[in-house]
Amino acid sequence: MKNVDGVKYRMTKQKRVILEVLKNTKSHPTADWVYDKVRKKIPNISLGTVYRNLNILKNQGEILELSYGKGFSRFDGNASRHYHFTCEHCGRILDIETPEFMEMEHEVARQMGVKVARHRLEFYGSCPDCMTD
Amino acid sequence: MKNVDGVKYRMTKQKRVILEVLKNTKSHPTADWVYDKVRKKIPNISLGTVYRNLNILKNQGEILELSYGKGFSRFDGNASRHYHFTCEHCGRILDIETPEFMEMEHEVARQMGVKVARHRLEFYGSCPDCMTD
DNA sequence: CTTATAATAATAAATTTTCGCAACCTCGAA
DNA sequence: TTCGAGGTTGCGAAAATTTATTATTATAAG
């Protein structure tokens, strides 16, 4: 696999474990959470390595980076395009399997005179566990 | 006007100018851009004051904070709910006046068994000025 | 097995945003 | 108009997340 500069990527123990951790959780963890988790298997891994590989994996399309604006990013091992639901009470982030609403892109393109390449849609509210309030 | 702790907000010269700057631009500036702009009128204002007031104004519902995950926030003097289009070439952010797609919330609520309070929708692509590439 | 070089660990540094505090200013009450 | 409680400011330090640097190590091609 090569990146945009024609440089070969290598598969390392660190990168493999990072990807493994991310693929094996349904949560949408922060870089720090991944770091803690990976350290269980590679105790001397450095945080910089986690960040570097998360970026590489994102550029390779293996994972998604989600920005929720609290100053840090979250990562999603599910690289397929899908929406998210964030519970405003417990903070949990759930994947939504609803198919993409593509008509919106056409409508915006027509109305604004722009070319729409993609969109991002986030829902917020109460999850089933937090509904009783 | 009182905040959640029952504390009265005061109108200061600094807060007024900050709000003014934000209401008078169609761009979606960063805190630093607002800081530079406000300094033209209040040269000795501090960056901390800008951040403090941007947060207060956001909590008062006067402005919106937009997180695009590049490590910093953008602010929108247009506090009405609307979508945004980001040009991936020139970085410009445009307001979209399309009415909200509320049906999506119902669909997600039904399908996930959650209560949806709001959603955020962002479009990305090429703006009219950048279409020819 | 050798070798070129991509990746790592450790640490420093960059960036954005928040905090603590003494001095100051706002606004309602007298 | 004056007064005063307490919200606000400017400034510097501090957080918190992420990126860059560098000498060393480890991957993968031949």
8 Å CB contact of B107 and A126: no
Mean pLDDT of A59-82: 91
SS (H, E, C) A67-78: ECCCCCEEEECC
pLDDT of chain B, 133 residues: tens digit per residue: 445 456 788 999 999 999 999 999 999 999 999 999 999 999 999 999 999 999 999 999 999 999 888 788 999 999 999 999 999 988 899 999 888 999 999 999 999 999 999 999 999 999 999 987 5
CA distance B38 to chain A (A): 24
**List of chain B residues whose C-beta atoms are within 8 Å of the C-beta of residue A94:** 112, 114
Whether the per-residue pLDDT at A133 is higher than 80: the answer is no
A87 beta partners:
A125
For tokens 């990527």, the residue is: A9
Give the pair of three-digit tokens for residue A110. 């027509």
Of A104 and A1, the structure prediction assigns the larger pLDDT to A104
Residues from chain B contacting residue A66 (CB–CB below 8 Å): 69
Contact B118 A101 (CB under 8 A): no
Q: Is A124 within 8 Å of B122 when comparing Cβ atoms?
A: no
Indicate whether B33 belongs to any domain: yes
φ, ψ dihedrals at A119, nearest 5°: -145, 165
Through-space separation of residue B104 CA and nucleotide D14 C1' in angstroms = 43
Alpha carbons B96 and B79: distance in angstroms, whole number? 13
Q: Are B57 and B12 in contact (CB under 8 A)?
A: no
* Mean pLDDT, range A114-128, rounded to an integer: 95
A32 beta carbon < 7 A from strand D?
yes
Residue A95 in domain: yes
Co-location of A44 and A92 in the same domain: no
Same domain, B90 and B59: no
Measure CA A85 to chain center. 13
Residue A22 inside a domain? The answer is yes
Residue B6: the pLDDT is 63
Examine the domain organization and report whether A70 and A21 are in the same domain: yes
Question: Are B98 and B47 members of one domain?
Answer: no
Query: Number of folded domains in chain B?
Result: 2
Which of B53, B72, B91 is where one domain is finished? B72
**Distance of alpha carbon B101 from alpha carbon B119, whole angstroms:** 9
The CATH number of whichever domain residue A32 belongs to comes to: 1.10.10.10
Which residues, by CB, come closer than 7 Å to strand C? A 7-10, 12, 14-15, 42, 44-49, 52-53, 56, 71; B 10-13, 30-32, 47-48, 51, 55, 71-73
Predicted pLDDT at A68: 87
Protein-to-nucleotide distance from the CA of A102 to the C1' of C4, whole angstroms: 47
Backbone φ and ψ for A4, nearest 5 degrees, come out as: -65, -25
**Protein-to-nucleotide distance from the CA of B120 to the C1' of D25, whole angstroms:** 46
Whether A27 and A49 map to the same domain: the answer is yes
Q: What residue of B is the nearest CA neighbor of A128?
A: B114
Whether residue A4 lies inside any domain: the answer is no
Amino acid at B27: S
Q: What percent of chain A has pLDDT over 90?
A: 81
The CATH number of residue A101's host domain is: 3.30.1490.190
Host domain of residue A51: 13-76
Cα A17 to Cα A1, A9, A41, B93, distances in angstroms: 18, 16, 8, 38
DSSP for residue A48: H
pLDDT band at A70 (very low <50, low <70, confident <90, very high): confident
CA distance B98 to chain A (A): 7
A69 lies in the same domain as A96: no
Residue (of A69, A35, A26, A56) closest to B66 by Cα position:
A69
Interface mutation target, options B72, B96, B121, chain A, most CBs of A under 10 Å: B121
The answer to whether residues B68 and B26 belong to one domain is yes
**Is residue A4 very low, low, confident or very high in pLDDT (cuts 50, 70, 90)?**
very low
Distance from CA of A38 to the nearest CA of B (A): 24
* Helix, strand, or coil (residue B57): helix
Residue A41 included in any domain: yes
Cα separations in angstroms, A49 against A21, A40, A57: 14, 15, 12
Tell me what the mean pLDDT of segment A102-128 comes to.
Answer: 95
pLDDT by residue (tens digit) across A42-56?
999 999 999 999 999
Three-state DSSP at A96 gives: strand
